[in-house]
Amino acid sequence: MLEIKNLHANINGKEILKGINLSVKAGEVHAIMGPNGSGKSTLSSVLVGNPAFDVTEGEVIFNGKNLLDLEPEDRSREGIFLSFQYPVEIPGVSMVNFMRAALNEHRKYKGLEPVSATDFLKLMREKRAIVELDNKLASRSVNEGFSGGEKKRNEIFQMAMLEPKLAILDETDSGLDIDALRIVANGVNQLRTPENAAIVITHYQRLLDYIKPDVVHVLYKGRIVKTAGPELALELEEKGYDWIKKEMGDE
């Protein structure tokens, strides 16, 4: 589904991604871990087309298409979704209008008519339940005045509405209490199918107790320096990142 080859990216002339290689198949969940500042959020930004970053080398193929040639909105229409590490507040734009616009854009791309008001409300209700998001939040402006946990749940709600082929979750678990963590993880698990895939960026093994990854990668200084099974997350939990840094000759 996703093939990243030798991806290099800069911000303000500074190289952050230094040759990322990553291959994700349909049905798989990949976890990306790694110390702060390694480039995890940068990788997710580059995949969805954040214009702040310049890709200087490499390629990204998503379902046979050259992803880097597509505008951010077309990447979304093709089925890529990013749950932001820091979700933004959009005062004045109601969740309802925001969601309906996004959904209808996706439908239009597939040659479908706009969703009917009845079906839309039914869908909102159904998907809200997955993350136990209060109806009151759904009728407010996007993320405005939401608590940290509510914003993260709202990200997963949006994901549930759009049913992406590839979901990228950038530290969706950070700042969540244990109940919210379980709710978010359940939401993600309910949306898993053999046809879609997820990249879960996290610092904590505890999320991976709920969302079982097939593959775990360590991103360090702009490169994937280790790839293994779920046992790697347990090892990192136990030993931290120092041994990785040592292996890389940094300590």
CA atoms within 13 A of residue 128's CA, in its CB half-sphere: 16
87 touches ligand ADP (CB under 6 A): no
Helix (H, G, I), strand (E, B) or coil at 26: coil
38 touches ligand ADP (CB under 6 A): yes
Tell me which H or E stretch contains 47: helix 40-48
Binding part of the chain for ligand ADP, among 38-46, 68-76, 133-141, 177-185 by CB under 6 A, reads 38-46
Q: What's the CA gap between 245 and 97, in Å, rounded?
A: 47
Nearest-approach distance from CB 66 to ligand ADP, in angstroms: 23
172 touches ligand ADP (CB under 6 A): no
Question: Nearest Cα to 72, choosing from 185, 199, 168?
Answer: 168
Binding part of the chain for ligand ADP, among 9-17, 68-76, 121-129, 175-183 by CB under 6 A, reads 9-17
Choose from ligand ADP, Mg ion, none: what does 42 bind? Cβ within 5-8 Å by kind. ligand ADP
Nearest-approach distance from CB 54 to ligand ADP, in angstroms: 12
Residue type, 25: K
Binding part of the chain for ligand ADP, among 11-19, 156-164, 208-216, 227-235 by CB under 6 A, reads 11-19
Q: Name residues contacting Mg ion, limited to 67-86 (CB under 5 A).
A: 85
Question: Nearest Cα to 204, choosing from 188, 186, 185?
Answer: 185
CA distances from 13 to 9, 16, 227 (A): 9, 9, 29
Q: For binding to ligand ADP (CB under 6 A), which residues are involved?
A: 11-12, 16, 34, 36-42, 52
